Structure 1
Amino acid sequence: MIPFSILDLSPIVEGDTATQALRNTLNLAQHAERMGYNRYWLAEHHNMPGIASAATSVVLGYVAGGTNTIRVGSGGVMLPNHSPLVIAEQFGTLESLYPGRIDLGLGRAPGSDQATARALRRNLTGPDTFPQDVIELQRYFQPDDSNQFVQAVPGNGLNIPIWILGSSLFGAQLAAILGLPYAFASHFAPAELLRALQVYRTQFKPSEHLKEPYAMVAVNVIAADTDEEAQRLFTSVQQQFLYIRRGKARQMQPPVNNIEENWPDYELANIDSMLRCSAVGSPETVQSVLASFISQTKADELIITAPIYDHEARKHSLTLTAQVREALTSQQFESVAV
C-alpha cells in the first residue's frame, strides 16, 4: 500500500481565529491517525492572514502531544529564516519528547516576502547558503563529539529523518547528493515535477540515512460525495491562490457556486495551471486521478493537502481519500494477479 500523508497549513477561515484554526489542526491530525495516514506535516509561512502554522515547531509539539502513533513533521521549516543550531535544538526537543515520530522537512524559500524574511532573520543570508546550512544541521544530530565545541542539546545523537523539500531541480539535486528523502511541492508548483523526480532518482547517492531514493509527491485532494460538491469546495482553494497572486492574501474564503462569475478567465487559467496536480471530485473521480498520478510519478508516498473551508467537510474529504487509498491497493493487487 502506498502511504498517504497529510500536509496542513492550519487555515484560518474568514471571520475565525488562529485559536480555532489550531484546534482544528489537532482534531484533523487525530482523525488522520484513526484513518491510517502515515505523516502529518505542517508548513512554515509568515505574514499570511490565512495561515496559523508560522511557529511550526510549536504547533508540531501541540499535534504530537495530542496524537499517539502518526509521524509528525515540518513540510517544511524554511531554513534560511533560522540558525541551524536553533532548529537542531527545537527538533531535538521534539524527538526527545515524542521519540521515533518526528520528521524534519527543510525548504530553502523564505515562506514569505523579502521584508518579512528580513524581520525574521536580521542578517539574512538567503537561499544560497542552504546546502551548507543543511550540512551544519546534520552535524548537530551526530553522536556526541568532543571535537565539536558547539553541540545541540537536546539533538546530538538523535535519529531525526531530514527531508529536502523543493519545487525545482535544485532541491532534487541536493537531496540526491546528500542521500536524503525528497518531497516535491507539486500541489502548487507542478511545472518541474517529472524532471525533478528523474534528476533525484538518477543522481541519488546512497548514504547512511537512505540506501535508495524515496520520493514523496504533494497533491491537492478535495473529495466529496459528488463531483459537483467537491468542485464547489475547491473554489476556496482557487480563491486563496487568486488573492495571493494579486498580493492581497486573506483568510480562507467560503466556497462559491460559480467562481467564473467573479474572476477573469486569464487569472483562472493561471491558477488552474498552478493547481493542475489536484484530484477533485467523488471517490470514483479521485481514485481515477490518483491512480494516474501515481502511475505517472512512481511516487513512493503521496502527501495530501486538503484546504477546505468547512472543518467537517475537510474531515469527510480525508475519510473518503483514505477509502480511495484502500481501493487503489485492491486495484494494484488485481493488476498483479492478472
Structure 2
Amino acid sequence: MSIPLSILDLAPIAPGQTARESFASSVALAQTAERSGYKRVWYAEHHNMKTIASSATSVLIGYVAAHTSTIRLGSGGVMLPNHSPLTIAEQFGTLGTLFPDRIDLGLGRAPGSDQNTMRALRRDPMSAESFPQDVLELQAFLRGESIIPGVEAVPRARNIVPLYILGSSLFGAQLAARLGLPYAFASHFAPDALHDAVDAYRSGFRASAQLTHPHVIAGVNVVAASDHDDAVEQAASARRTRVRGMLSRGPATPEYSDEQIDAFLTTPQGRQLAAMTTYSAVGTPSEVSDYLHDFAAHARADELILAHQSLDLDGRLRSVELTAQAMTAAGASVSA
C-alpha cells in the first residue's frame, strides 16, 4: 500500500524552552521532513497556551518557508471565525507570492482557545455560524473573483493557494464534500467521529475546480524510536505535558507534577482526555509502520498527517526519520 505522509508540527514549547527555541525546532523539523520525503508540514492556530508557539500561524509558515526549499507548508489550520476572510486572503496571498506552489491553507471553525480568550480575540460567539459563507468569500478573494464589489485581496498569488477543510465532526465533512475540497480529520485528538465523517465526505463529494476526486487526510500521533520501551516512555511524557498544558491555561494556574498528572489520568475526566489520543503509533519503526498501514486502511485515508509527539527535539527528528525509512522499506511512498 502506498500512502503519502505529512506532518502536523504542534510547535511545542518544552519545559525550560523559549518560544524562539521552539521556532528553531520547527525549522529543524521541516528541514528533516523535507530530506525524508514528507509531502507537507502544517501548523495550527492556538491561543493562550503556554506550551504551543503557533498562535501567529501565517508568520510561522513564512519563517519556516524561508529556511526550506521544496516541502509544502501551511495551516492545519487557521481558525477562520477569528479573522476576516480578506485578512487571511492577504496573508496567504503574500505567502503564496513569496513561496510559489508551496503554501496550503487549511481552515477550521473552532476558536482554538477558551471562552475568555475568545473575548480577548474580539470574536463574535456566533461567528462560527457564518463559516461556510466565509470560506466562499475567502476562496473568491484567492481566485481574484471577489464577491464584494470594489474589494480585492492584494497581493494575490499567481497560482491559487489551495484550500482544505479541517474538522472533527460531520459538519466539516459535509461542507468539504459540498465545496469539492480536501478534508482533513483531526483524528489525532478527536477520534470518535472519524468513520462517520469520512463516509459522509466520500458519499457527498462533488467535484470542483480544485479537486476532481475526494481526498481524505487523517491525523495520527507517532513516537518512533529504535527501542520499544523508549518510545513508550517518550509517549507517556508527551501525554503528561499535553494534559498539563490543558490544565494550566492562564497566568495564575498551578504547576502540576508528573505524579499529579498521572493521578488525574486515572479519573473519569483524565481518562476522557487520554482517549483523545486513541490513534497513536508508538514503538519501533516496524511497529509504527505496521500501525500506520493498518490505520490508513481503517480510516480510508488518502494521506496521513503525523503529529510526532516526542518532547525532545532530537527524539522528534529521529521519529520523523525512522518513520519515513520504515514506511519506505515497507513499500510505501512518503511523497507520492
Please list, as runs of the form range in 1=range in 2, the aligned pairs for 1:226-245 lying within 5 A after superposition. 226-244=227-245
- The Cα offsets for residues 291-310 of structure 1, whole Å up to 9 and x where unpaired, read as 21011112110000013211
Write out per-residue CA displacement over residues 121-180 of structure 1, whole angstroms, 9 at most, x where no aligned residue.
355543111111101101101236798310001127641100000000000000000000
Match of 2:321 among 319, 322, 325: 319
Deviation at 1:249, TM superposition (A): 7.7
1:140 and 1:156 in contact (8 A); partners too: no
Q: Determine the structure 1 residue equivalent to 2:266.
A: 264
Asked if the contact 1:223–1:282 (Cα under 8 Å) also holds between the matched residues in 2, the reply is yes
Alpha-carbon distance in structure 2 between the residues aligned to 1:201 and 1:327:
30
Q: How does 1:119-138 map to 2 (within 5 A)?
A: 119-121=120-122, 123=124, 125-138=126-139
* Residue 20 of structure 1, CA deviation: 0.3
- Provide the C-alpha distance between the structure 1 equivalents of 2:258 and 2:227, rounded to a whole number of angstroms: 16
TM-score by length of 2: 0.91
The corresponding residue for 1:202 is 203
Q: Distance in 1 between matches of 2:146 and 2:277?
A: 46
C-alpha separation between the residues in 2 aligned to 1:160 and 1:296? Answer: 30
Give the direction of change, closer, same or farther, for the CA distance of 1:79–1:127 in structure 2 (3 Å limit).
same
C-alpha contact 2:218 2:305 (8 A) present in aligned 1: yes
Residue 50 of structure 2 aligns to a residue in which SS? coil
Q: Are residues 330 and 69 of structure 1, via their aligned partners in 2, closer, same or farther at CA, if it must alter by over 3 Å?
A: closer
**Which residue number in structure 1 is paired with residue 118 of structure 2?**
117
Deviation at 1:269, TM superposition (A): 2.9
* Secondary structure at the counterpart of residue 133 of structure 1: helix
Would you say 1:66 and 2:67 are equivalent positions? yes
Tell me by how many angstroms 1:272 deviates.
Answer: 3.2
Cα offset for 1:263?
4.4
Secondary structure at the counterpart of residue 305 of structure 1: strand
SS at match of 1:200: helix
Inter-partner Cα distance in structure 2 for 1:145 and 1:45: 29
Cα distance in structure 2, aligned partners of 1:317 and 1:32: 10
Whether 1:44 aligns to 2:48 is no
Is the CA contact (8 Å cut-off) linking 2:79 and 2:108 kept in structure 1? Answer: yes
Which amino acid letter does the alignment assign opposite residue 292 of structure 2?
A: L
Query: CA 1:88–1:9 in structure 2 vs 1: closer, same or farther (change >3 Å)?
Result: same
- CA distance in 2 between partners of 1:294 and 1:63 (Å): 28
The aligned residue for residue 189 of structure 2 is 188
- Structure 1 residue runs without a partner (length 5+): 332-338
Report the alpha carbon displacement of residue 245 of structure 1 after superposing the two structures with TM. Answer: 5.0
Establish whether residue 98 from structure 1 lines up as the match of residue 92 from structure 2.
no
Could you tell me the TM-score, scaled by structure 1's length? 0.91
Q: Would you say the 8 A contact 1:143–1:158 is kept in 2?
A: no
The 1:183/1:124 distance shift into structure 2, 3 A limit, reads: same
| Contact preservation (8 Å) 2:216, 2:303 | yes
- RMSD of aligned residue pairs (Cα, Å): 2.6
Q: Structure 1 CA distance, aligned partners of 2:161 and 2:112?
A: 23
Kindly indicate whether residue 177 of structure 2 is the aligned counterpart of residue 176 of structure 1: yes
Matched residue, 2:4: 3
What is the percentage of aligned positions where both structures have the same residue?
Answer: 50
Distance 1:329 1:228 in 2: 26
Aligned to 1:30: 31
Give 1:209-288 correspondences, 5 Å limit.
209-244=210-245, 246=247, 248=249, 260=262, 263-264=265-266, 266-288=268-290
Q: Is residue 305 of structure 2 the alignment partner of residue 303 of structure 1? A: yes
Does 126-135 or 136-145 show the bigger shift?
Answer: 136-145
| Total equivalences in the alignment | 330
For residue 336 of structure 1, what is the aligned residue in structure 2? none
Q: Which runs of 5+ in 2 are unaligned?
A: none
Q: 1:149 to 1:315 in 2, by over 3 A?
A: same
Partner SS, residue 329 of structure 1: coil
Q: RCO higher in 1 or 2 (8 Å CA, sep ≥ 6)?
A: 2
